[in-house]
Amino acid sequence: MVADVVVDRVARGLDRAWTYLVPPGMEVAKGCRVQVPFGRGRAQGIVVDVQEVENPGPSRLKAIDRVSDTYPALSPLMVELGQWMAREYLCFPSQAYKAMLPRGLGHEDPTQELIEAVGSRNKRASRRQTLWNVLQERGPLLKERILQEMPDMAEPLRSLVREGAVTVTQVALPSAPASVNPSPFTLTGEQERAVSLIVASAPGSVWLLEGVTGSGKTEVYLKAIEDALRAGAQALVMVPEIALTPQTVMRFEERFANMVGLWHSGLSAGERTKTWHDVRTGRLRIVVGVRSSVFLPFQNLGLIVMDEEHESTYKQEEHPRYHTRDVALWLAQQSGLKVILGSATPSLETAFFARQGVIGWIRLTSRVGSRALPPVSVVDMRRELQEGNRSIFSRELQEAVSRALAQDEQVILFLNRRGYASFVLCRDCGKAIECPRCAVTLTYHQQEDSLVCHYCSYTMKPPAACPACHSHKIRYFGAGTERVVEEVGKLWPTARVARADRDTLNTRDSYYKLYFDFVEHKADVLVGTQMIAKGMDFPNVSVVGIVAADVALHLPDFRRSERTFQLMVQASGRTGRGDKPGRVVVQAYDPEHFAIESASTHDYDKFYRQEIEFRQELQYPPFSNLWLLEVADPLDNTAQQNIRKVADMVKGLEAAGCEILGPVPAPLPKLRERYRYHVLVKGPKCQEVAEALALVEQSEFSCRITVDPYYML
Ligand code: ADP
Ligand code: ZN
Ligand code: ZN
């Protein structure tokens, strides 16, 4: 027997499998992790093929050292998927496999640790003593439970163990009975129709579920999952980011008691291993997870739901630069599972394929319970300024907020920029203070009283005088979330304000706390970036203000209109969800822009028609594929030379129907002390492109190639 093994090395010339002898008696199957001799040392690898060889005779092949698992870590389908990803996303197969297997995958361990207080202990007040008292009062508790309820008790618990004040017992838990709980709702006609279409569809069907915010898409997912469970299959629900969708997660856990596992980056190595094995053995029937959950070792996956399918977090930015949607569609094609892509604002690609009939298309056109979509008014901020209003809030927004607060209702204010001021400018010489390592302006953060680079995290104290001309007339421009909080405090001093951005929310617990605090009305005004624009249901919010809707409209990126439209619609969707009608005020400097105009009437079709025309005219996706080639170097000259050579290498693709744009300096021409240049290849997916780009990838110019890039900066 011989086996082909992909080794865990990334270097030129190594993007292939190597053949090894399987020693007699060794059990090796496709998908097993193995250790093999490689070069002068040893390497880990994945078996991608096993062949019976007749009469091998004397051979120079080396033999596999050992097999790491008692079962193949990757199913044959996943082995194929890795090969496909390597071709599709121009990466090494080993990089694909690495992404598919969680880090530090340990062995299956169905036991848990039970912690019990022993003897007596009465020391001075400390967290240790508090924990011991809790154990004393409540009796033995599972370690997992303790840390869930009291996340800061990890260290005190370790101390108690060292001290011998608690005992630790390994216990095997009988799994709690799983049950499907009935839906509290009668489906609406539209939901009913959606469910029956999906349930009746052929294996391998892919559906776009295009439903306005609050139209009850989640209820459709739940019914489709029930159907998959009835057929004995497992189901996967993908969400852009678990922490941002506490409510969605809870709805799945409620409906499918003790069947749901979560998959996200916040899991400990132990939790990851446990969930991974529980999925593999079928103990878990449903997973709610982020992008990488698409690689979990399901036994029999029948359905993938991709909620908010337009979200950019579904695209991985690092090798392998896969898009989760592509992987899901590949799985549907190969294994016959069904896919539901859900969104109120589908990506142009998905919307196009649905309208062309390439995938199924279901629409939910109205909100559940005859709640109306909130009226949106767009305020021209140039006018406000002309008429003497220098505040960051228009008069209309001020009036709306005042009225809501007077009626004890809640308000959300969105601004997609954190910090206090996005640039700091000298009034005398006109120079903005830039990051010394990047060609970008520094953002002022009031809380830390410092200037911070949002790209490389460089930090400095704000200078008292202009570094260029020593003038003291330094001014702050471009309001961020901190500034909005400050202004709210000035205008409505009694309102309780909470801020939600990456600076205040960095753990899953902090999101949950924010979410529940706001639902329980512990704050009146929530100021946040787009991170809180999706998925959350706040029944008492009657006003949503979008402080600057056109922040993203001026970026040199062909998806700028799409992003602006999506943000506006998602943000508007946060209001009018309870019994009170909602209202949205959108502030913009370019209020006539079609993305803003169509979002203000919740008119996806109108937006789509105009945007798809633009995409077709300029041959952007879905009418072409894009490959972004990027070279970065500490020396500007070297970077320029290299990008020119890269451009030469792909020039021939014009004959294959491609358009080559560049070389040009990247829109962010310098980041982290490296000068950056781009070439964009636009064209059909074909053999010629694959071959040319494989050569670029292997060239000495350290060119980074992104297939279907999401960000063009
Ligand atoms: P979407 O995901 O489309 O934004 P949701 O699934 O969150 O919408 O549904 C919006 C609200 O309507 C939720 O609070 C949900 O519980 C409720 N809901 C969903 N379906 C029904 C129904 N058939 N009858 C009554 N309420 C429903
Ligand atoms: Zn100056
Ligand atoms: Zn920087």
Question: Could you read off the pLDDT of 117-166 as tens digits, one per residue?
Answer: 888 888 777 889 889 988 988 888 888 888 877 778 888 999 999 988 99
Instruction: Count the Cβ atoms, other than its own, within 10 Å of residue 504.
Output: 16
Span from the CA of 433 to the centroid of ligand 2 (angstroms): 9
Q: Note whether 2-100 and 179-370 share their fold.
A: no
Cα(469)–Cα(257) distance, rounded to whole angstroms? 66
pLDDT value of residue 55: 67
Element housing 676 (H / E): strand 674-683
Give the residue, out of 217, 218, 575, with the most ligand 1 atoms within 8 A of its beta carbon, to mutate for a pocket test.
Answer: 218
CA of 369 to the centre of ligand 1 (A): 8
**539 in contact with ligand 1, CB cutoff 6 A:** no
Distance CA 367, CA 370 (A): 6
Is any atom of ligand 1 closer than 6 Å to the C-beta of 215?
yes
Ligand nearest to the CA of 428: 2
Whether ligand 1 lies within 6 angstroms of the CB of 529 is answered as no
- Residues in the chain, how many? 713
DSSP bridge partners of 112: 171
Nearest to 72 by CA among 111, 101, 38: 101
Say if domain 376-418+480-614 classifies as CATH 3.40.50.300: yes
Cβ–Cβ contacts within 10 Å for residue 482, how many?
A: 24
Identify the band that residue 108 occupies on the pLDDT scale cut at 50, 70 and 90.
Answer: low
Mean pLDDT of all residues in the chain?
Answer: 90
Tell me the mean pLDDT in the region 5-28.
86
Question: Looking at the CA of 343, which ligand is closest?
Answer: 1
pLDDT of residue 182: 87
Strand partners, 341: 208, 306
Q: Which residues make up the environment of ion ligand 2, defined by Cβ < 5 Å?
A: 426, 428-429, 466, 468-469, 471
Q: Which one of 190, 195, 248, 368 would you pick to mutate in the ligand 1 pocket, going by the greatest count of ligand atoms within 8 A of its CB? A: 368
* CB burial readout 121-147, b (16+ within 10 A) else e: beeeeeebbebbebbeeeeebebbebe
Q: Is 255 in the pocket of ligand 1 (CB under 6 A)?
A: no
The architecture (CATH level 2) of 111-172 comes to: Orthogonal Bundle (1.10)
The most distant pair of C-alpha atoms in the chain lies apart, rounded to whole Å, by: 91
**593, amino acid identity:** H
Q: Name the helix (H) or strand (E) containing 36.
A: strand 33-38
Residue nearest to atom 15 of ligand 1 (CA): 216
Token reading at 406: 């007077």
HEC string for 256-289: EECCEEEECCCCCHHHHHHHHHHHHCCCCCEEEE
pLDDT in tens, 556-590: 788 999 999 999 999 898 888 777 788 999 999 99
* Residue 348 pLDDT grade (very low, low, confident, very high; cuts 50, 70, 90): very high
C-alpha–C-alpha distance, residues 608 and 490, integer Å? 40
pLDDT per position as a tens digit, 389-445: 999 999 999 999 999 999 999 999 999 899 999 889 999 998 999 999 998 899 999
pLDDT over 70 percentage in the chain: 97
Q: Give domain 2-100's CATH architecture.
A: 3-Layer(aba) Sandwich (3.40)
- Own/partner contacts of 644-649, CB < 8 Å, gap of 24 or more, are 645/699, 645/701, 646/679, 646/696, 646/699, 646/701, 646/703, 647/679, 649/692, 649/695, 649/696, 649/699
Listed residue (77, 82, 84) closest to 94, CA to CA: 82
First to last CA, the chain: 50
| C-beta separation of 249 from 239 below 8 A | yes
Residue nearest to atom 16 of ligand 1 (CA): 216
Mean pLDDT of 332-338: 96
Above 90 in pLDDT, residue 9? Answer: no
Q: Is 345 in the pocket of ligand 1 (CB under 6 A)?
A: no
Q: pTM of the predicted model, to two decimals?
A: 0.88
Helix axes 127-138, 154-163, angle to 10 degrees: 80
Residue minimizing CA distance to atom 17 of ligand 1 = 216
Expressed in angstroms and rounded, the spacing between residue 473 Cα and the centre of ligand 2 is 8
Instruction: For the domain made up of 179-370, give the CATH fold.
Output: Rossmann fold (3.40.50)
Instruction: Measure the CA–CA gap between 661 and 293, rounded to whole angstroms.
Output: 35
Is the shortest distance between the CB of 211 and ligand 1 below 6 Å? Answer: yes
Domains of the chain by residue range: 2-100, 111-172, 179-370, 376-418+480-614, 625-707
Q: State the closest ligand 1 atom to the C-alpha of 218, by its place in the atom list counted from 1.
A: 6
Q: What's the gap in Å between 475 CA and the centre of ligand 2?
A: 10
Q: If you measure from the C-alpha of residue 219 to the centroid of ligand 1, how many angstroms do you get, rounded to a whole number?
A: 6
The ligand placed nearest to the CA atom of residue 536 is: 1
Residue-level pLDDT at 644: 95
What separation in Å is there between the alpha carbon of 220 and the centre of ligand 1? 9
Q: Is the CB of 187 under 6 A from ligand 1?
A: yes
Question: Which ligand 1 atom is nearest residue 186's CA?
Answer: 23
pLDDT digits (tens, 9 = 90+) for 246-285: 778 888 999 998 899 999 888 888 888 889 999 998 889 9
CA 296, CA 237: separation in Å to the nearest integer? 12
The per-residue pLDDT for 58 is: 62
Does any ligand 1 atom lie closer than 6 A to the CB of residue 245? no
* Upstream peptide bond of 634 is cis (omega within 30 degrees of 0): no
CA of 429 to the centre of ligand 3 (A): 22
How many angstroms is it from 672 CA to the middle of ligand 3?
6
Ligand 3 center–CA 670 separation, angstroms:
9
CA of 576, nearest ligand number = 1
Residue 593: per-residue pLDDT: 95
Ligand nearest to the CA of 424: 2
Domain 625-707 CATH superfamily:
Ribosomal protein S10 (3.30.70.600)
Q: Distance from the CA of 474 to the center of ligand 2, in angstroms?
A: 8
